[in-house]
Structure 1
Amino acid sequence: MTAAEGPRRPGPVFMAAGALAVLALVALGIWQVQRLAWKTALIARGEAGLVAPPAAAPGPQDWAALTAADEYRRLSVTGRYLPGPQPLVRAVTRLGSGYWVMTPLREAGGWTVLVNRGFVPEAMRDAVPAPPEGPVTVEGLLRHSQPGGGFLRANDPAADRWFSRDAAALAAALDLPPPVAPWFLDAGTPGAATQGPGAEVPAGEVRAGDPVPGLTVVRFANSHLSYALTWFTLAAGLAGMLVWLRLRRPQGADPR
């Protein structure tokens, strides 16, 4: 190709590859639309579960069937809190910086679950009250385990430093009697706590000075619409570029 001839139109191989890329981008957009429908239904189910009466906590026979759709289900667990250590997991809530108090509970049916009894501020780190003695019924939200860590830091069981509520790691560190639930329970109803330790909460839900329950932040992330629009926009842009390349007149060509 000489300077006088200018750039040529793209050949059939280039155009075929470009067309395949457009189809791939469209397929990704359609997939995200399908994911959007799935996520919308999942969110609707989760929001309905937040206002539904608490159901009996799933036992060992049901754990394998739990999915992402079960997050934030309202549950009720009856049993006894186990004596011993209560790991503190770093937390930042609307009440400030502090810790979640993770206390193991032996369910009446013979299995163990970790209960996030609530939030305590930094000043209560070395003065966390013991859990109630005797049989208790705890209502709260099912939460999936959070392995690894958080706040850009890994959990350090040997040093008793926890940055995420990793049910399996916490159970191993406490040497809890099996079977142990692979999920944990966030005690309380979201939005119930108002001021801090000792704040007004539903009667019978917390004793004065106990960890503050009900601070769970419910998040249903749904970015599939923006993803779909991104893929469709890229497909349209690439298709437009291919059409322009195909239809443009080479430089130096006779316009007649």
Structure 2
Amino acid sequence: MRFSLFVTALLPAALACNHANLAQHEARNDSAPPFKYTEGTDGPADPATRGYFVNHVGLVVSNITASREWYSTVLGMRHIFTMDLSDQYSIMYMGHAQGGRNGTGFQTGAELARDKNNLGGLVEFIEYKKSSRKYAPGPSNTLSHMGLIVDDLLAAQARFDSLNVETVKRAGDLDFSAETGNPIFASAWGFDSRFLSSIGGLTTDWELDFTSEEEQAAIQAVLPALGIMGFKELIVIADPDGNLFEVQSLVPTLI
């Protein structure tokens, strides 16, 4: 699918992000927009989720050095740390200083690294140099996962089980082998593990043609919803649309 068509398809979702304008639009009884704005009316959250918050988003990138320069120069993010696990595989964290709005509460890299699991809005970058996947400007499948911090990892896992949450990886598991490894987990962390997934009823494949009728139908089905609106110890869960959350404990449990 051409980039221009993709932008056109997602335009209602982009406009819906400006919720204040949508509310004013409905209050004036203007002609109905092609989407509906609904104010949230949820009650208090389950007390079991106290302490939960989104910590970071992980991106698979083709050049971690270029990513660091862009996020630093363009967004003002700070380099927290880089871990070169081998000569081919690296993980890097960046984020804004957390003493207030960016620039109002300077923190050193060491301070940010120390407080990593108690911060929000971080970005994790994953580079696997041997990967055949390379990315160009435009829509691309670069999202690896989102990060969730919980007070008690094993209690959270038990709660996810009780709610029948789709669990991609359980605490204590770590298997990238070809015979028994988890292809969804492997692909989300940048390895060349081609797979078909139907989590949430949405077919996903790294090599699917976005111009296919099947993929176009999947995109159209998602548009209304869009418009409204340690590795071993961690847990990976999937939301109804197949988006992955890496779940970590605020204090590592050293499973």
| Same-fold status (TM-score > 0.5) | no
> Which structure's CA Rg is the greater one?
1
Taking structure 1 as the reference length, the TM-score comes to 0.18
Taking structure 2 as the reference length, the TM-score comes to 0.18
